[in-house]
Amino acid sequence: MSAPIVLYDIPGNRPGYKCWSPNTWKVRFALNYKGLPLKSEWVEYPDIEAVYRRLGIETTDKDSDGSPLYTLPVIYDPSTQSAISDSMRIAKYLDKTYPNTPILFPAGTLALHSTFQSAWYRVQGPLWAIVACSVCSWLNERSQIFYRTTREADEGKKLEEIRGEKEWKAAEEAFGNLDKWLSANGEGKDELVMGEGVCYADLQIVSGLMWAKTTLAEDDWRRICGWHNGKWERIVNYFSKYAVVDL
């Protein structure tokens, strides 16, 4: 068996939920779904830039002030000596490099996946308002300070002031639109984006749901589970066999 692929991830400290970030969850799901061995390297927020520098990765992302933005996930594949950032870029790399594993981007779907990613952001944005403060409470101290400082600067308010009933309503409406998109597949095929067979877009959805499950208070998570006839909890349960985290 080949050496494990190293996945750089941000640790949480909630018991049982060390992995929480939706972006790193996408890659963790992808590796587990493909049956590729992985090894987690846990990195606090202030140390992410050093990972990029050590691995020789250039970031093209910019922060709101125009400065370079260093984000996870990042992987390092010792089999090819490749270091890659960005969830979708990593998933495409895994499809190309390991073609004998289950494919996440079936032939002819790259344009559709790009379109779905833009549509997913209209769900992820309202969801962020729901989880933003909860995420901070489960970070280790150095990451917690970094997260609070940067997010409150972006929002112009305290994390505790971001979520209210208006934000809950917006999130439910956003998931209502997602429910309509999935339901276009027809009854019995409305929990996977392509109806049958897992694709990368499904990993985006379940990773967003794991973001909520691993950070929200149980009552808040159950509130989301109650939306749209329990569809979101069923999706999480479907992917539970791929939600393995090496500690």
CATH assignment of the domain containing 147: 1.20.1050.10
Same domain, 155 and 214: yes
Same domain, 117 and 219: yes
Model pTM score: 0.96
Same domain, 88 and 171: no
Per-residue pLDDT band for 28 (boundaries 50, 70, 90) equals very high
Q: Domain containing 157: what range?
A: 109-242
Same domain, 87 and 156: no
* pLDDT at position 161: 97
Query: Which residues touch 238 (CB under 8 Å, ≥6 apart)?
Result: 191, 206
Residue 247 falls inside a structural domain: no
Residue 104 falls inside a structural domain: no
Residue 53 falls inside a structural domain: yes
Classify 162 as helix, strand or coil.
coil
- Cα angle at 70 between 66 and 74, to 5 degrees? 150
Same domain, 92 and 196: no
**Mean pLDDT of the region 60-73:** 85
Give the Cβ contact number of residue 199 at 10 Å. 20
* pLDDT at position 1: 54
Q: Decide if pLDDT at 109 tops 60.
A: yes
What's the CATH code of the domain at 26?
3.40.30.10
Query: Which residues touch 49 (CB under 8 Å, ≥6 apart)?
Result: 68, 70
* pLDDT at position 67: 84
Same domain, 53 and 156: no
Residue 18 falls inside a structural domain: yes
Q: What is the pLDDT of residues 162-206, one digit of tens each?
A: 999 999 999 999 999 999 999 999 988 999 999 999 999 999 999
Total structural domains in the chain?
2
